[in-house]
């Protein structure tokens, strides 16, 4: 029989106190769209659920010098934000393709990356937007670049007694165009067979800076560094982009595997096809 205590603190201090008090018995719950499903599917629950839904001041999208996104910002808020759509387009693409409207209304961006599925729809976008993840625990605040946040499938650097509080995106990303493609069989209510995110900065026709990220291509969402290095400084041409796609699909950048959702050879072809397409879309968006 599933039973648990459900605690609803309303500030971060209380949350940290409860995590300390209950230790490994406690699990954080935000929107609940992963936690509740897991409880139902495994018929196992933690002894204590600590809900952080009441922490209203962790729900925000702000642009100051940098972009600041509270951990409890819902996917729906990201989807409907004009700022995100126009300046952090890949994040808009990712957030608006998660689940359904009902799921996006409650599911949080912090939850999406803390769950750390290799398929997380916001992860690819956050990787190409150079996001920095802020956490708070008993020893105070710390931050890591998103490239160091994921440590394995469903694993992150977040400790059991810490709470993810904010995702910061450097203000200079406003000079980049970005795009994310979720490759899936249906348009909604589906996990990606593969996800591709690209952000780039142009000086004239020259790609002066570029980031490429892949999801479902390795145990964690990853950056395709070799493909980025190849593209940097080159003119935006079909030839260069196609070659970058080939490099991104190679074992230098990812470790594709066969699964129920798709086979490795197919995933490689999708990377080859969509790295150029997303790069072009990112460039097009930048010029607007």
Partner 1 sequence: MKKVSVSFTLNGNTVTAEVPVTWTLLKTLREYFELTGAKEGCGVGECGACTVIMDGQAINSCLCPIPEVEGRSVTTIEGLADEDGALHPLQDAFLKNNGVQCGFCTSGMIMSSKALLDQNPDPTEDDIRTTIAGNFCRCTGYVQIVESVEMAAKEGK
When the beta carbons of 51 and 220 are compared against partner 1, the nearer one is 51
Which of 12, 66, 85, 99 lies at the binding interface for partner 1 (CB under 8 A)? 99
Identify the residue among 10, 53, 266, 269 touching partner 1 (CB under 8 A): 53
Alpha carbon 121 to its chain centroid, in Å, reads: 6
Contact of 192 with 119, CB cutoff 8 Å: yes
Q: What is the CA radius of gyration of the chain?
A: 19
Is residue 235 a contact point for partner 1 (CB under 8 A)? Answer: no
CA dihedral of 49, 117, 188, 288, whole degrees rounded to 10: 110
Cβ 36 to partner 1 shortest distance, Å: 5
- Shorter beta-carbon distance to partner 1: residue 40 or 155: 40
Instruction: Mark residues 148-187: x for contact with partner 1 by CB under 8 A, - for none.
Output: ---------------------------------------x
Task: Kindly state whether residue 45 participates in binding partner 1, applying the rule CB under 8 A.
Answer: yes
Q: What are phi and psi of 269, to 5 degrees?
A: -65, -35
Which of the residues 66 through 85 are near partner 1 (CB under 8 A)? 76
Contact 94, 121 (CB under 8 A): yes
Measure the CA–CA gap between 58 and 70, rounded to whole angstroms.
5
Strand ranges for 177-258 from DSSP E: 177-183, 194-203, 206-215, 222-223
Q: Is 56 in the site for partner 1 (CB under 8 A)?
A: no
Maximum pairwise Cα distance, the chain:
64
Contact residue for partner 1 among 25, 138, 189, 205 (CB under 8 A): 189
Interface contacts to partner 1, rule CB under 8 A: 1-6, 8, 29, 32-33, 36-37, 40-41, 45, 49, 51, 53, 76, 99-103, 105-106, 187-189
């Amino acid at each position: 029989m599933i039973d648990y205590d459900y605690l609803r603190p309303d500030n971060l201090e209380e949350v940290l106190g409860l995590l300390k008090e209950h230790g490994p018995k406690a699990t954080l719950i935000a929107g609940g769209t992963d936690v509740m499903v897991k409880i139902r599917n495994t018929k196992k629950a933690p002894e204590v659920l600590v809900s952080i839904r009441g922490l209203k001041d962790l729900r925000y999208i702000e642009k100051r010098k940098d972009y600041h996104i509270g951990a409890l910002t819902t996917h729906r808020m990201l989807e409907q934000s004009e700022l995100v759509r126009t300046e952090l387009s890949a994040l808009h693409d990712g957030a608006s393709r998660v689940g359904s409207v009902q799921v996006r209304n409650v599911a949080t961006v912090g939850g999406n990356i803390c769950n750390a599925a290799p398929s997380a729809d916001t992860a690819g976008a956050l990787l190409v937007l150079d996001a920095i993840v802020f956490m708070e625990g008993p020893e105070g605040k710390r931050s890591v670049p998103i490239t160091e946040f994921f440590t394995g499938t469903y694993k992150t650097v977040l400790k059991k007694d810490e709470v993810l509080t904010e995702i910061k995106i450097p203000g200079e990303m406003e000079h980049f165009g970005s795009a994310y493609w979720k490759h899936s069989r249906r348009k909604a209510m589906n996990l990606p067979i593969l996800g591709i995110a690209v952000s780039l900065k142009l000086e004239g026709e020259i790609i002066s800076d570029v980031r490429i990220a892949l999801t479902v291509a390795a145990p964690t969402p990853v950056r395709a560094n070799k493909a980025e290095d190849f593209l940097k400084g080159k003119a935006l041409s079909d030839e260069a982009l196609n070659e970058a796609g080939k490099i991104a699909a190679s074992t230098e950048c990812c470790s594709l595997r066969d699964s129920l959702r798709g086979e490795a050879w197919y995933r490689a072809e999708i990377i080859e096809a969509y790295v150029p397409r997303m790069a072009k879309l990112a460039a097009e968006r930048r010029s607007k």
